[in-house]
Amino acid sequence: MAESRVPRRRRFLVCEPRHFAVQYAINPWMSTGRPVDVVRALDQWQALVETYRAHGHTVDTVEPVPGLPDMVFAANCAVVVEGRVLGSVFHAPERRPESVPFETWFKTEGFDVHRPESVCEGEGDLVPAGRWVLAGTGFRTAPEAHREAQEFFGVPVVSLTLVDPYFYHLDTALFVLDDGGKGGAGNIAYYPGAFSPGSREVLERLYPDAVLATREDAMAFGLNSVCDGRHVFLAPGARQLAGRLAGLGYEPVPVDLSEFHKAGGGIKCCTQEIRETRS
């Protein structure tokens, strides 16, 4: 018998893809010769927001800025743990101006924002997982930012090295299924091939029961998912992963963001989670 999973209501921050486009190439998914269907992108994004709301989650929006086509990837602009907001410093000069409108949004909402000194791409690479924060480096976020995050949040940060350019952010290779709530380690799903051998060993030690995904699932953006404890908002192409999760008592909720895959992003990239309290 599969366990019965209990969802927890989340507060998400998103940014409408009104100015979304692929105008530069800063990861292997992006090609300026492959245009984005803007109307389709808007429809897909709207469906994501409606799906979150239909499952009881709160969705806030930040106003998009013309000339910042990747602003839709709200997850990269900050990471919030127990109401503390660590802002962002982007690796690519094209994305650097995005930090400001997000910082303004948080300040308007009454949060203080700590701006990191090193390259730090928010929840793209810093994934809060209950007792610790899992942190990716190798392509974007600098190891120095992992140390800054640990100092700022006062939560242990576990540094992990990414080695495959298709999985340049930690949130393209791993997501949290269960953050451990009242003290356990919780559980995650990840694609082992995205990590260095040592980092793989670290993940095996921390999460002996993790759900291991295939490269096909990962290439379909299956690890760029959001889980509320029960529902897994998941790319429809990640079929094997959906089957595994269903067998464990999770409920896969397919949301197709294929237009955003052209920019190297999926469901989680479009979703910033505002964690106000200890879970």
Q: Which residues are catalytic?
A: 169, 269
C-alpha pair distances (Å), 244 with each of 19, 79, 91, 248, 249: 36, 29, 35, 7, 9
173 vs 177 by CB, closer to ligand ARG: 173
Q: Interface with ligand ARG includes 264 (CB under 6 A)?
A: yes
State the pairing for strand pair 11-15/157-161. unpaired
23 vs 251 by CB, closer to ligand ARG: 23
State the pairing for strand pair 211-212/226-227. unpaired
234 vs 263 by CB, closer to ligand ARG: 263
Tell me which residues in 29-48 interact with ligand ARG (CB under 6 A): 30
Residue span binding ligand ARG (CB under 6 A) among the ranges 42-50, 148-156, 243-251, 264-272: 264-272
Alpha-carbon dihedral sign for residues 133, 271, 137, 258: positive
Q: How far is the CB of 6 from ligand ARG (least distance, A)?
A: 26
Q: Which residue has the tokens 């109401």?
A: 83
Among 79, 192, 269, 272, binds ligand ARG (CB under 6 A): 269
Among 5, 84, 169, 262, binds ligand ARG (CB under 6 A): 169
73 vs 106 by CB, closer to ligand ARG: 73
Residue span binding ligand ARG (CB under 6 A) among the ranges 47-55, 71-79, 127-135, 248-256: 71-79
Q: How far is the CB of 175 from ligand ARG (least distance, A)?
A: 11
160 vs 263 by CB, closer to ligand ARG: 263
Q: Interface with ligand ARG includes 263 (CB under 6 A)?
A: yes
Residue at shortest CB range from ligand ARG: 269
5 vs 106 by CB, closer to ligand ARG: 106
Among 98, 171, 179, 217, binds ligand ARG (CB under 6 A): 171
Among 12, 20, 52, 73, binds ligand ARG (CB under 6 A): 73
- The CA distance from 149 to 85, in Å, is 10
Among 23, 27, 118, 258, binds ligand ARG (CB under 6 A): 27
Among 62, 75, 80, 220, binds ligand ARG (CB under 6 A): 75
Contacts with ligand ARG by CB under 6 A lie at 26-27, 30, 70, 73, 75-76, 95, 124, 169, 171-172, 263-265, 269
